[in-house]
Amino acid sequence: MPMHPDVEKILIDEKTLDEITTRLAGEIDRDYANAEGRVVLVCILKGSIMFMSDLMKKVTVPVEIDCMKVSSYGAGTASSGMVHIYLDLLRADIAECNLLIIEDIVDSGNTLNYLVKYLKGKGAKSVKTCTLLDKPSRRTAPFVPDYIGCEIPDEFVIGYGLDYDEKYRALPYVGVLKRSVYEQ
């Protein structure tokens, strides 16, 4: 596939994404092989859908899936620091569930820092986190994900689920967005 004209460079290509999801699925299989209770992969909409769908195909331990919709960003590229829950888990059996939150990116850390406490507070048996991309240089909340696909520099990335102004989510690779697109 030719590179999208708004993309400065491809940061993680399709082959590397495939290798990353294979490795992460192996780590999840190893760690949850003897889990007591249900194992639930929780996809954080919308950015995580492509990562979630590729990852869940490769995990071989029995899992259930669920979704949440949260938002920490206002319009554009700046983080507001606020976390809103638009779609919550609708389960009566949360005390039986080992929740593994699936994220596309950890930036400030606000979203996952909040969500882990929130879901533990709801009584989940365990709560862990898996992110495709980690930008530790941007952290304002002290948060370390349990599973990390790839550490990346502080660049504006899109594709493989990630957007700018709701565009570029369907690109099959992670790319760096040209500054001219968002600095107009």
Residues near ligand PRP, by CB under 6 A: 44-47, 71-73, 79, 103-111, 163
Which of the following is catalytic: 13, 18, 104, 107?
107
Cβ closest to ligand PRP, residue 100 vs residue 106: 106
Cβ closest to ligand PRP, residue 61 vs residue 156: 156
Cβ 113 to ligand PRP shortest distance, Å? 8
The residue number with the shortest CB distance to ligand PRP is: 47
Helix (H, G, I), strand (E, B) or coil at 124: coil
Cβ 37 to ligand PRP shortest distance, Å? 26
Cβ 48 to ligand PRP shortest distance, Å? 6
Cβ closest to ligand PRP, residue 1 vs residue 78: 78
Tokens of 92: 């009566």
Cβ closest to ligand PRP, residue 169 vs residue 178: 169
Cβ 84 to ligand PRP shortest distance, Å? 9
Beta strands per DSSP E along 18-170:
38-45, 64-73, 79-87, 97-106, 126-134, 147-151, 157-158
H/E/C letters for each residue in 69-112? EEEEECCCCCEEEEEEEEECCCCCCHHHEEEEEEEEEECCCHHH
> How far apart are the C-alpha atoms of 33 and 27, rounded to whole Å?
10
Q: Is 88 a catalytic residue?
A: no
Residues 6+ apart with CB under 8 A from 33: 61
Residues 6+ apart with CB under 8 A from 137: 153, 154
Residues tagged active-site:
107
